[in-house]
């Protein structure tokens, strides 16, 4: 049986049950013989002394999902939780029980409550600053954290990242560009942490692929700042390709300046473009390349999600689904009441999910098999499929 509960809560909540997916992600977990029927809802009121502790579960290991369920990120947090619950029911959930904790009331409190309730694995949090708070709390109990962040600075020492990092996306698209004869790379990156990481990633990727850098220019997101950065890059000399390390809305503003030179350089993007719902409408970006997780399984996931929740899932919600698939797969080797077998997270063969194949490196960051897409009038076409696994 599968169950889900929300803590803390002020009002009774409804247990959400799902039938099995019509199409199961191959190789993820064994499918149960029939649909899972959830047990009655568990409602545990919060007392003035703090939330009541959950009773021991003798048939399942407890897995905590730490996401924001109130505040400005509540919609994304709820989408992640819905996706996690969908995965629980799609796999039957015979050996794990999920309980959700709202990090909007404090990530430390959420983590402490989860551990006090006997959780042996934490999925989440979403935000890097919350991961930094949760990590030492979980480490004291030797409980692994599989976070939804993509900030590599919080990975390691029992913290694993499911998020898609810009470095992986840039490395993949640069390798593809080199295979198409691109030699000289330039880049426009925003001021700030993301831009700094994109700069380092591009430098390493170009060097590793045997290309050369013509220059990297930073910008603020004002109209003048964008124009000036593009002009500075153009003045550095001809680039065969230019990376725009930003969302598509900024990239489309930079594209005319980049393509004002002759011959026009190939435009490259990052994983941020994968979240754009109307990318094909940006005529200035047509023909650009970017790398992202495969969309091959997302349509089926979105259909199942919409049928169950009458809502459109956030693109990032697949991280919640895939994290539960991973936990369900390992649950077969996780004795009830014992510590989570963290060594299983280091399987060199990796895991499969909605977003394709992935595996965790020694640094705790998920290495992903990404595809390369080309922007077209219809959105984006795959020009280099994602590998199905790892050698």
In a domain? residue 391: no
pLDDT band at 390 (very low <50, low <70, confident <90, very high): confident
| Residue whose C-alpha is closest to residue 123's, from 357, 350, 372, 345 | 345
The answer to whether residues 171 and 269 belong to one domain is yes
pLDDT in tens, 139-182: 999 999 999 999 999 999 999 999 999 999 999 999 999 999 99
In a domain? residue 390: no
Distance CA 121, CA 102 (A): 16
The answer to whether residues 233 and 378 belong to one domain is yes
The answer to whether residues 90 and 111 belong to one domain is yes
The answer to whether residues 9 and 142 belong to one domain is yes
The answer to whether residues 49 and 132 belong to one domain is yes
Q: First vs last Cα of the chain: how many Å apart? A: 36
In the chain, the number of structural domains is 2
Whether 15 shows a pLDDT value over 80: the answer reads no
Can you give the CATH number for the domain in which 276 is found? 3.40.50.2300
The answer to whether residues 129 and 75 belong to one domain is yes
In a domain? residue 24: yes
The answer to whether residues 115 and 181 belong to one domain is no
Res 39: pLDDT: 36
What share of the chain in percent tops pLDDT 90? 76
Three-state SS at 374 = strand
pLDDT in tens, 314-364: 999 999 999 999 999 999 899 999 999 999 999 999 999 999 999 999 999
The answer to whether residues 189 and 56 belong to one domain is no
Whether 195 shows a pLDDT value over 70: the answer reads yes
The answer to whether residues 177 and 151 belong to one domain is no
Res 278: pLDDT: 84
| Residue whose C-alpha is closest to residue 160's, from 359, 389, 368 | 359
List, in sequence order, every residue forming a beta bridge with 96; answer none if it has no partner: 61
List, in sequence order, every residue forming a beta bridge with 65; answer none if it has no partner: 100, 123
Residue 354 CB partners (closer than 8 Å, separation 6+): 25, 297, 298, 301, 318, 321, 322
In a domain? residue 389: no
Whether 36 shows a pLDDT value over 80: the answer reads no
The answer to whether residues 20 and 78 belong to one domain is yes
In a domain? residue 34: yes
Domain extent for 179: 166-293+370-384
The answer to whether residues 150 and 53 belong to one domain is yes
Task: Report long-range pairs for 218-222 (Cβ below 8 Å, ≥24 apart).
Answer: 218/188, 218/189, 218/190, 218/191, 219/188, 219/189, 219/190, 219/191, 220/190, 220/191, 221/190, 221/250
Phi first, then psi: give them for residue 88, nearest 5 degrees.
-60, -45
The answer to whether residues 220 and 233 belong to one domain is yes
In a domain? residue 130: yes
In a domain? residue 153: yes
In a domain? residue 352: yes
| Residue whose C-alpha is closest to residue 63's, from 91, 24, 95 | 95
pLDDT in tens, 207-253: 999 999 999 999 999 999 999 999 999 999 999 999 999 999 999 99
Q: Report yes or no: 326 and 294 within 8 Å, Cβ to Cβ.
A: no
């Amino acid at each position: 049986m599968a169950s889900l509960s929300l803590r803390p809560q002020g009002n009774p909540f409804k247990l959400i049950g799902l039938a099995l997916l019509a199409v199961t992600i191959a190789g993820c977990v064994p499918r149960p013989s029939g649909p899972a029927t959830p047990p009655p809802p568990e409602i545990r009121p919060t007392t003035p002394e703090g939330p009541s502790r959950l009773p021991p579960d003798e048939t399942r290991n407890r897995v905590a999902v730490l996401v924001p369920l109130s505040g400005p990120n509540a919609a994304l947090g709820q989408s992640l939780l819905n996706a996690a619950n969908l995965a629980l029911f799609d796999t039957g959930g015979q050996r794990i029980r999920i309980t959700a904790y709202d990090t909007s009331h404090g990530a430390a409190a959420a983590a402490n409550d989860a551990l006090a309730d006997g959780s042996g694995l934490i999925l989440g949090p979403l935000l890097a600053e919350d991961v930094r708070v949760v990590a030492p709390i979980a480490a004291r109990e030797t409980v692994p954290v599989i976070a939804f962040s993509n900030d590599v600075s919080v990975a390691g020492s029992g913290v694993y990242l499911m998020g898609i990092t810009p470095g992986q996306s840039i490395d993949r698209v640069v390798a593809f560009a080199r295979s198409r004869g691109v030699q000289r790379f330039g880049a426009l990156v925003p001021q700030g942490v993301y831009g700094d990481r994109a700069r380092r990633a591009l430098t390493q990727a170009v060097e590793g692929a045997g290309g050369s850098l013509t220059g990297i220019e930073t910008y603020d997101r004002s109209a003048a700042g964008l124009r000036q950065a593009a002009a500075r890059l153009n003045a550095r000399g001809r680039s065969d390709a230019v990376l725009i390390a930003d969302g598509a809305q900024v990239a489309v503003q930079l594209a005319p300046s980049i393509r004002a030179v002759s011959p026009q350089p190939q435009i490259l993007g990052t994983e941020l473009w994968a979240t754009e719902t109307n990318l094909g409408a940006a005529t200035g970006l047509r023909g650009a390349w970017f790398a992202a997780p495969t969309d091959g399984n997302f349509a089926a996931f979105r259909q199942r999600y919409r049928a169950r929740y009458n809502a459109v899932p956030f693109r990032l919600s697949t991280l919640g689904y895939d994290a539960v698939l991973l936990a369900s797969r390992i649950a077969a080797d996780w004795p009830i009441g014992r510590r989570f077998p963290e060594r299983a997270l280091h399987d060199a063969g990796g895991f499969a999910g909605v977003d394709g194949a992935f595996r965790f490196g020694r640094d705790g960051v998920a290495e992903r098999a990404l595809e390369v897409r080309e922007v077209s009038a219809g959105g984006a076409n795959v020009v280099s499929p994602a590998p199905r696994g790892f050698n």
